[in-house]
Amino acid sequence: MQKSDHAMDKSTHDDVPDSVLITPTAPIANHTHGGRAKCLQRLVRLDLPVPTTVALSFEAVHAIANGGMPDLAAIVGCFAPDALLCVRPSSEDPDWGGPGAILNIGMNDARYVELCQSLGREAAAALYLRFVQSYAVHVARLDPDAFDDVEDNGPDALSEVLSAYEAETDEPFPQDPAEQLAAVLRSMARAWEGTSARLLRQAKGAPADAGLGLVVQEMVPGYGQGECGSGVLQLVNPGTGMPQITGRYLSQSQGRDALGAGTEALYLERDARGPSLEESAPEAFADLKAHASLMRRRLREEMQVEFVIQSGGVHILDGVRVTRTAQAAVRIAVALAEDGIIPREEAVMRVDPRLSAEVLHRPGVPDAQGRGNGGGIAARPGAATGRLVFTAAEAQASAARGEPCILVRRETSPEDVRGMHAAVGVLTERGGMTSHAAVIGRGLGLPCIVGASNMKFDTRRKQLTAVDGRVFVRGDIITIDGSSGAVLAGQPEMLEAAEDGAFQTLLTWADDQRDIGIRANADTPEDAETARKFNAQGIGLCRTEHMFFEPGRLTVMREMIFAETSKGRAAVLARLLPMQRDDFQALFRIMEGLPVCIRLFDPPLHEFLPTSKTGQRELSEALGIPVSDVTRRVEEMEEYNPMLGLRGVRLGVTVPEIYDMQARAIFEATLDASKEGEPVVPEIMIPLVSAKREVELVKARIDAVALAVKAERGEDFTYRLGVMVETPRAALRAGEISPHTAFLSFGTNDLTQMTYGMSRDDAGRFMSAYVNQGVFPEDPFHVLDTDGVGELLKLGVQRGRAEHPDLTLSICGEHGGNPESIAFCREAGFDYVSCSPFRVPVARLAAAQLAISSQIGDSRKKSAKL
Ligand code: PEP
Ligand code: MG
C-alpha cells in the first residue's frame, strides 16, 4: 500500500496509488499514470501556473471499466468546493490516443444560476451547454444529431439541449457533480477498452494490454470579465521545424476552440494577417512565451502549450509534444542540440532513420493541384508513384516483385495495414485527416490522400475513374501527391529533394558515432554523384553488365558472344574496351580516390541473346551470317535455368577474354584517373564463386593483365581482388577462399535465393501467401533472414577471418540499407555495408544509432558491475 502523503486511495498495486494529487514529488510515472500525467507533474515542478490536477493510474482506470470506482470523495476533496472539473486521457505514449476530454463537469442548474451572476448569462450557458452536449454524446451515448445542431451558444440553446436530453433518456440531466464525474470516468475507461480503440492504438504500435490513465483537472473557465479565453501555442512551425510562434487564441472560449474558430481567433505574435494576442494582451503573451521556452529547455522537447487566460492571468493546462513532419523532426532535434539542451548523440537517436528518408525524397509535384486527374484530402505529405493495386494482398505481391505500388481502397481497415506497409502510397475514397488510412499512413510515413470522392472507385472491377472520365485499371501507373491532395496519371516530373542543412548536420554527428562503413551500390556516373552527395564512403558494388545493355553496345556484345574463334572474340572485345575504360574513368573521377569496387561481368549470356526476329535479323546483318544460323545458335545457347547456368565466374573460367578485357579497362582507367587526381586503388570483384579453384584461375589471369598494363605503360598501380560470396558453398568454404582474396563481399540477393532454393524473380507469386500464413516472418528478399542466410554469413565471416585476419568483409545485396540488417552485420563484424545511393543517409543514421545504443548498453553494464 502506498505510504506517500499524496496517495488518497487504497492502492491495488504495490506502490502505485489509484489516484494521486499531482505535486512535484507525487509517485507518478509514464508507465503507471501515462504521459500526460507525467508531463503535468514536470510542469508543476517548473512552478508553472498549472490548475490543481489529480492523476488516476492505469490500474484504477482498468478497475473502473470493470465496474469499480476509486474514492470519489477523496478526488473531489482535492478541488475547491465549487470547482468545475475536466477529465483528459493519459496513455503511456500520447500517440496512442485515447477518448476525448470532457470539460465542465459539475455544471448543473444551481451552478448555472451562480455563474450567471459571476460570469454572465451567455458565458454560464456556454459552459453548461458544452458539458451537456459532450455528456449526452460521449457518456450517455445519445444520437449526436439531436445535440450538435443548436443555433447558438446561448441560454436558448441550453434549454433546447436539456429538453432533448430529457426526451431521449426520460430522465432529467444528472445534477449531482459526483454522479457526473463517476459517469464520465466510467465512459472514458470503457471507451479505451473497446475493440475499435484497441485496434487503432495497436496499429500505432501500442501493446494489446496498453493501459490508460486519466487526469482530473480543475477548470479555468476561459469566460468572464477582463481578458478571458483559451488557445494553443508552440514555438516552431510543425511543417518545417523552423522557429515560429504558431497557434491561435480565442476570447471567451475553452479547450481547442481557438483552432477551429476561423477569423475570429487571434494570431499569437504580431501578424500582418490580422489582430494578435501580443497586441491585445502583451503581458499575458510575454508570460506565455516565457513559459513555452522554459518548457522547451527543461522538458528538452518542442511542446505545444494548451493555455487559458483568465482575467488577464495565464494558466497552463497541458503540454504535448509538437506533432511534426519528418523534416521538422530533424530540424527540431538539431536545434535542441545546437542550443545545448540535448547532447548531439541524443539528437541522432531522436530521428527515425526510415522517416528521415522522406527529408531527402521528392517532396512533391510542382503545381500539382492544377494538374490533377482527381484528388482529395492531403493526409500525409510527399509524393509517390506506383502501379495501382486494389487489395492489400496485391500490394504485398507487388512489393515482393520489387514494383512500387499505390494501394487504392474505399477506406482502409486494420486488415489493410500489411498492404499499406508494402505500398509506397495510399489513396482512399472515404475518410478524413483522422481516418484509419490517414493515421496509419502518417505513422508509416506513407504519402496518403483520403476522401478522394471526386473520383469513382470501383474496387470490384478494380478500376478508378478520374474527374475527366479517364479510367485507370490495376497495374496503371499513377502518382499521388500527399502534399496537395492531387492524383496524377503516370509519373510527372518531381521537385528535386530539398537540400536540408539540418539533416546534413545530423548526419555529420551520426558519422562521428558510427562504427561500420557505408558505401553505395552505383553503376552509373549519376549513381556515383548521388553516392557522393550523400557522403557514401565509396562504391561497394558496380554492376558492370548494366553498361552492356546500353543501346549501341548490345549488338557489339552479341557479336562477341557469337564469335566463333578466340581471335574473332578478341576483335570485338577490343571495340568494347575503350567504352568500358571510359565508364570506369568516369566513376573514378567522381569518387576522387574513394574505393570503387567493380564486379566483373555476372549475368547469364543467355540474357543477351536476341529473342525477337528483328533482333536476330540485326545480328545477322552485323555478323554477315544468315538469320537461320543466328536462330540456330540462339537455340543452342538457351539455358533451362540461366540463373544457375553459365554466369558469373563460370564465364570467367570458360570465356576468359571477357574478364581480361574488363581488367584491362579497369587498370588503364586507374592509371589515367590517378594522373588527374587522387590515386585510385581499384577493387575487382569476382561474382558467383563456389570453389577456390575458380578464384585461382581468374586471379592468375587478372594478375597477368596487370603486369602487361604496367609493362606497356611503364607505370605502377595497386589493386585489390575480392570474391563475392553469394553461393552457400562459397560461404562454407570461405576458409580456403579467403587467403586468395583481399575481401569478401556477401551478395545476399543470390545467397538468399540459393539458400532457400527460391527464385528471386518468381517468389513474388507466393510470397504474400507465405508471409500471411506465417511461413516466413517477412519477405527474406527485403529483410535479411538472420536465422538461415545469417548463419551462412556468420560461418563465412568466421572461416574467412580465421585464415585471413585482415580480410575486409561487407554485404552488397539489397539488405545493405535495411536498419535491422545493418545491426546484424555490425554484430557479425562486417567492415561496411553497401546499399542503393538513396538509402545511404538512412543507413548512416541507423548505423550511428546502433553504435550509440551499444555504447549506452556498455556503460549500463559497467555501472551495474560497479
Ligand atoms: C547479390 O546477389 O546480392 C548481388 C548484389 O548481386 P546481384 O543482385 O547483381 O545478383
Ligand atoms: Mg548476385
Binned average pLDDT, 10 residues per bin, the chain of 866 residues = 40 70 96 96 98 98 96 94 95 90 97 94 94 95 84 87 94 96 97 88 88 97 93 90 92 87 86 93 97 98 97 96 87 97 97 76 58 78 89 90 90 79 91 69 77 87 90 93 85 64 93 97 88 94 82 81 86 93 96 97 85 84 87 87 92 94 97 93 98 98 98 97 98 98 96 93 82 90 93 98 97 90 96 90 95 84 58
Q: Which residues contact 679 (CB under 8 A, 6 or more apart)?
A: 593
Q: Could you tell me the CATH number of the domain that includes residue 34?
A: 3.30.1490.20
Ligand sitting nearest the alpha carbon of 789: 1
Residue 388 lies in a domain: yes
Phi, psi of 89 (to 5 degrees): -75, 155
747 is in an annotated binding site: yes
Query: Which among 267, 298, 324 is the end of a domain?
Result: 324
What is the span of the domain harbouring residue 377?
A: 362-489
Which amino acid is residue 181, in one-letter code? L
Q: What sign does the dihedral 488-490-495-499 (CA atoms) show? A: positive
Angstrom CA distances, 77 to 103, 161, 726, stand at 18, 30, 72
Give the number of whichever ligand sits closest to the CA of residue 748. 1
Q: Is residue 557 part of a domain?
A: no
Chain center to CA of 163: 50
Using the 3D structure, point to which of 324, 340, 372 is the last residue of a domain: 324
Atom of ligand 1 nearest to the CA of 749: 3
Per DSSP, which regions of 468-510 are E strands? Answer: 471-473, 477-481, 486-489
Q: Which residues pair with 520 in a beta bridge?
A: 539, 835
288 and 188 share one domain: no
For residue 543, the CA-to-ligand 1 centroid distance in Å is 9
How many separate domains does the chain show? 3
Domain membership of residue 786 (yes or no) is no
Was 749 annotated as part of a binding site? yes
For ligand 2, the distance from its centroid to the CA atom of residue 603, given in whole angstroms, is 9
Please give the distance, rounded to the nearest whole angstrom, from the Cα atom of residue 725 to the centre of ligand 2. 9
To the question of whether residue 750 is assigned a binding role by annotation, the answer is yes
Residue 783 inside a domain? The answer is: no
387 shares a domain with 284: no
Instruction: Identify whether residues 306 and 454 lie together within a single domain.
Output: no
Which one of 405, 812, 825, 835 is the catalytic residue? Answer: 812
Residue with cell 474527374: 467
Residue among 690, 750, 810 to mutate when testing ligand 1 (max atoms within 8 A of CB): 750
Place of cell 471507451: 191
Q: Based on the residue annotation, tell me whether 812 is a catalytic residue of this protein.
A: yes
Measuring from atom 6 of ligand 1, which residue has the nearest CA? 747
Place of cell 449531482: 176
Q: Between β-strands 377-380 and 374-375, what pairing exists: parallel, antiparallel or unpaired? A: unpaired
Residues 235 and 306 in one domain: yes
Do 205 and 246 sit in the same domain of this protein? no
Question: Ligand 1, residues 812, 833, 836: which to mutate, most atoms within 8 A of Cβ?
Answer: 812
Q: Which residues, including other chains, have CB under 8 Å from residue 35's CB and lie 6 or more apart?
A: 90, 91, 92, 93, 94
Kindly report the protein residue whose alpha carbon is nearest to atom 8 of ligand 1: 749
Nearest atom in ligand 1 to 521's CA = 5
CA distance 769 to 750: 22
Ligand nearest to the CA of 521: 1
3-state secondary structure of 761: coil
Domain match, 295 and 213 both: no
Q: Determine which residue's CA is closest to atom 9 belonging to ligand 1.
A: 543
- Ligand nearest to C-alpha 689: 2
Q: Where are the alpha helices (DSSP H) in 514-598?
A: 525-533, 554-562, 566-591
Phi-psi region of 458 (alpha: psi -120 to 50; beta: other; left: phi over 0): beta
Q: Residue 609 in 3-state DSSP?
A: coil
- Same structural domain, 378 and 294: no
> Is 726 assigned to a binding site?
yes
Note the helical H segments in 46-101: 58-65, 72-76
Using most ligand atoms within 8 A of CB, pick from 539, 607, 724, 749 the residue to mutate for ligand 1: 749
The Cα–Cα gap between 118 and 253 comes to: 16
Q: Which residues line ligand 1 (CB under 6 A)?
A: 541, 543, 602, 726, 747-750, 812-813
Q: Where are the beta strands (DSSP E) in 219-365?
A: 229-236, 243-251, 303-310, 313-321
689 within a domain of the structure (yes/no):
no
C-alpha–C-alpha distance, residues 316 and 292, integer Å: 10
> Ligand 1 mean position to 523 CA, how many Å?
13
Q: CATH number for the domain including 455?
A: 3.50.30.10
Give the angle subtended at the CA of 292 by the CAs of 291 and 297, to the nearest 5°.
95
Q: Ligand 1 atom closest to Cα of 753?
A: 2
pLDDT value, residue 862: 64
Using alpha carbons only, how large is the chain's radius of gyration in Å? 33
**C-alpha of residue 531 to centroid of ligand 2, in Å:** 21
The length of the chain in residues reads: 866
Buried b (16+ CB within 10 A) or exposed e, 270-298: eeeeeebbbeebeebbebbbebbeebbee
Nearest-5° angle of CA 233, CA 235, CA 240?
Answer: 115
Distance 14 CA to ligand 1 centre (A): 56
Q: How far does the centroid of ligand 1 lie from the alpha carbon of residue 603, in Å?
A: 10
Same-domain check for residues 455 and 428: yes
Q: Whose CA is nearest to atom 3 of ligand 1?
A: 747
Residue 102: per-residue pLDDT? 97
CA nearest neighbour of 20 among 261, 172, 209, 215: 215
How far, in Å, from the CA of 605 to the mean position of ligand 2? Answer: 15
Q: What is the pLDDT of residue 779?
A: 86
Q: Is residue 24 part of a domain?
A: yes
Report how far ligand 1's centroid is from the alpha carbon of 810 (Å). 13
Residue with cell 542540440: 337
Euclidean distance between CA atoms 583 and 539, whole angstroms: 14
Strand-by-strand arrangement of the 463-465 sheet: 456-458, 463-465, 471-473
- The three cell numbers of residue 75 are 478526488
What is the number of the ligand 1 atom nearest to the C-alpha of 812?
Answer: 5
380 neighbors 442 (Cβ within 8 angstroms): yes
Residue 114 and residue 110: Cα distance in Å, rounded?
Answer: 6
Q: Of the candidates 266, 323, 314, 262, which has an alpha carbon nearest to the alpha carbon of residue 288?
A: 314
Residue to mutate, 543, 546, 685, 811, ligand 1, most ligand atoms under 8 Å from C-beta: 543
- Rounded Cα distance between 809 and 642, Å, is 28
Residue 521 labelled as part of a binding site: no
Q: Is 782 annotated as catalytic?
A: no
For residue 658, what pLDDT is reported?
Answer: 93
Say whether both 63 and 204 belong to one domain.
yes
Which residue, judged by its Cα, is nearest atom 10 of ligand 1? 750
Q: Are residues 259 and 369 in the same domain?
A: no
The dihedral over CA atoms of 507, 511, 515, 517, expressed in degrees to the nearest 10, equals 80
Look at residues 173, 129, 118 and name the one whose alpha carbon lies nearest to residue 152: 129
Q: Is 454 annotated as a binding residue?
A: no
Residues 236 and 316 in one domain: yes
- Domain presence at residue 277: yes
Q: Which atom of ligand 1 is nearest to the CA of 813?
A: 3
CA distance 294 to 291: 5
Kindly name the residue from 436, 606, 740, 804 that is annotated as catalytic. 436
Residues whose CB is less than 8 angstroms from the CB of residue 487 and which lie 6 or more positions away in sequence, other chains included: 372, 373, 374, 375, 376, 427, 449, 452, 455, 466, 478, 479, 480, 481
Report which bound ligand comes closest to the CA of 751.
1
CB atoms within 10 A of CB 460: 7
Residue 336 located in a structural domain: no
Q: Is residue 447 within 8 Å of residue 384, measured between CB atoms? A: yes
Map residue 833 onto helix, strand or coil. Answer: strand
What pLDDT is stored for residue 269 in this prediction?
94
On whether both 182 and 242 belong to a single domain, the answer is: no
Boundary (domain end) residue, out of 489, 506, 524: 489
What are the beta bridge partners of residue 408?
Answer: 427
Asked whether residue 748 is marked as a ligand-binding residue, the answer is yes
Characterize the bridge pairing of strands 405-409 and 425-428: parallel
Give me 29's grid cell.
Answer: 510515472
Q: Give the count of beta carbons closer than 10 Å to the beta carbon of residue 704.
A: 12
231: which strand partners? 249, 307
Task: Determine which residue's CA is closest to atom 4 belonging to ligand 1.
Answer: 747
